[in-house]
Amino acid sequence: MVCHCAKSCLSLIQSKIHWYWNKPETTSQNRVKTIVMIDLNKEADIENATITQSSGDKRVDNKAVEAIYEAAPFREIHGLSLKEKEMIKRIEIAF
């Protein structure tokens, strides 16, 4: 599927990543949250995925990054203009 605007593309990419997301069982009763910053190149491949906020549980953090790489590449962006691609070359995803 190809998107034709940055907003719909971002939503599609987030959905695709969360489809691959399998949160491991945690020992904590608290809700954990991991935030990952993704840098995409012009071909829609991941250049870098960096944890910007750790959940405090390495297994959860690793599974978040793993889901991003499993969901890639994000060919959906090929229908975007260069200006719109520039708008979503860096994406923050919360798990």
pLDDT for position 29: 52
**CA distance linking residue 95 with residue 77, whole number of Å:** 22
Q: So what's the pLDDT on residue 2?
A: 65
pLDDT tens across the length of the chain (95 residues): 667 788 888 999 999 999 999 888 765 556 778 999 999 988 889 999 999 999 999 999 999 999 999 999 998 888 888 888 888 899 999 99
* Alpha-carbon distances, residue 65 vs 74, 81, 86, 89 (angstroms): 15, 27, 22, 17
According to the model, what pLDDT value does residue 86 have? 87
Whole-number Å distance between alpha carbons of 53 and 74: 23
**Amino acid (one-letter) located at 69:** Y
